[in-house]
Structure 1
Amino acid sequence: MHAKNVLKTYESVAATFDRERDKSLFERRWLDRALNHATGRRVLDLGCGSGRPIAQYMSERRATVTGVDGAPAMIELFQKNLPKAEAIVADMRTLDLGKKFDIILAWNSFFHLSPDDQRGMFPVFAAHAAPGAVLLFTSGPAAGEPIGQVGGQPIYHSSFDPPEYRTLLDDNGFEEIAFVPEDPDCQMHSVWMCRKRPSA
């Protein structure tokens, strides 16, 4: 299983993923923190999947959501679940929307990229971040390339050690607000919250 197979896998399991994805909003505390830190409500959801529950929750909180996913089947579900939101089929690695956002989410999506592609994402984050924008993403707690499962299929993940993420963030104009590895209040997700420096 390799990073290059991730989009094909999500395309093939989209309906199962949407049906089985935990919708209890265990992520709510982090999403609320992002909303509280942000200066606006323009949200870019990278790897948005079907939009449930995260994009739906942000929309209910008066956010204007743009969902981006490289799997067309996921975007089809996203449009069904959030008919008023903008939905774009695109690979996050080459994204260039020409727009800035107040919150950028890469929740359980960014960590499916290879190490080199993860490094390349930080300029993409920066290019879409308004001054003071909040970047919220999940990673692993330490460096590695584990294989998980989605919809009964194997799925690739990768992560760096925290110091490398901190260097990438700093080099691209972001400051760390919080990092909680294996957050016990978030189903053991390792969560980063960062802010785009106003002058960066």
Structure 2
Amino acid sequence: MTPEELGKKYSKISKIYRDETKDSKYGIVQIQRAISYSEKKGIALDVGCGAGGRIINELTSNNINVHGIDISTSMIELARKAHPNCTFEIADICEYKTDEKFELIVAWDSIFHIPLNRHKKVLASLAKMLKPKGILIYTFGDDKGEHTDIWHDDTFYYSSIGINENLSTLINSDLIIKHIELDQYPQNHVYIIAQKY
């Protein structure tokens, strides 16, 4: 599935997704944990920010400025309306480049959509975008592989390099593992928090 195809799929359900997650607290405890490791507030990059909402609200309520990126045009339009004091752009994380360095990078339920052979490169790229002592939090599946699932009457692609390869990639990118958890056990959903040296 190309990034463009994924973006169109999310654009098709953007308002439904926004409405479904409007009052959700999903992921907030985990984001709070990541914020607690962050020594400075500054600016955060939200990778796959979607329509905005709870995660951006949590970040901004902690005096963290947010720059969000997403592959879906409609999601970005909704995020701009919901968070006029934040900045957003349409971007593919696999190709994303910036001179900005971030205190915090969040990729909650987003990079598991990228092609399997791009995970290590994307993680290394995110690590380079962190300031010293900066924090990265993201989610992935615990088993290595790729599959598709039906969601909102459409087919979505998912992939993961698994726990061990995520850990080794982060360590090789000069990050220290601060926390890792299968937070929805017995489902295979993992979140990890790592800090740059």
Provide the TM-score with structure 1 as the length reference: 0.90
Shift of 1:188: 6.8
CA change 1:52–1:189 in 2 (3 A) is: farther
Q: Which residue of 2 aligns with 1:145?
A: 146
* 1:48-197 equivalent positions in 2, closer than 5 A: 48-184=49-185, 189-197=189-197
Question: Which one-letter code corresponds to 1:142 in the other structure?
Answer: D
Asked if 2 retains the 8 angstrom alpha-carbon contact of 1:79 and 1:87, the reply is yes
Distance 1:157 1:23 in 2: 25
Q: Which residue of 2 aligns with 1:17?
A: 17
Asked if 1 retains the 8 angstrom alpha-carbon contact of 2:7 and 2:73, the reply is no
CA change 1:149–1:22 in 2 (3 A) is: farther
Asked if 1 retains the 8 angstrom alpha-carbon contact of 2:143 and 2:160, the reply is yes
Asked if 2 retains the 8 angstrom alpha-carbon contact of 1:143 and 1:161, the reply is yes
Asked if 2 retains the 8 angstrom alpha-carbon contact of 1:178 and 1:193, the reply is yes
Shift of 1:133: 0.8
Asked if 2 retains the 8 angstrom alpha-carbon contact of 1:17 and 1:150, the reply is no
Asked if 2 retains the 8 angstrom alpha-carbon contact of 1:13 and 1:150, the reply is no
Deviations 1:122-166 (A, max 9, x none): 222022100011100000121122323443322111112211111
Q: Which runs of 5+ in 1 are unaligned?
A: none
Asked if 2 retains the 8 angstrom alpha-carbon contact of 1:69 and 1:89, the reply is yes
Percent identical: 24
Greater relative contact order: 1 or 2 (C-alpha under 8 angstroms, separation 6 or more)? 1
Provide the TM-score with structure 2 as the length reference: 0.91
SS of the residue corresponding to residue 93 of structure 1 reads: coil
Asked if 1 retains the 8 angstrom alpha-carbon contact of 2:124 and 2:170, the reply is no
Distance 2:163 2:22 in 1: 27
SS of the residue corresponding to residue 66 of structure 2 reads: strand
Q: How many residues align?
A: 195
Q: Which runs of 5+ in 2 are unaligned?
A: none
Distance 1:149 1:102 in 2: 35
Distance 2:63 2:151 in 1: 30
SS of the residue corresponding to residue 183 of structure 1 reads: coil
Deviates more, 1:139-148 or 1:103-112: 139-148
Asked if 2 retains the 8 angstrom alpha-carbon contact of 1:141 and 1:182, the reply is no
Shift of 1:21: 2.5
Shift of 1:3: 5.2
Shift of 1:111: 0.5
Distance 1:172 1:3 in 2: 26
Deviates more, 1:117-126 or 1:41-50: 117-126
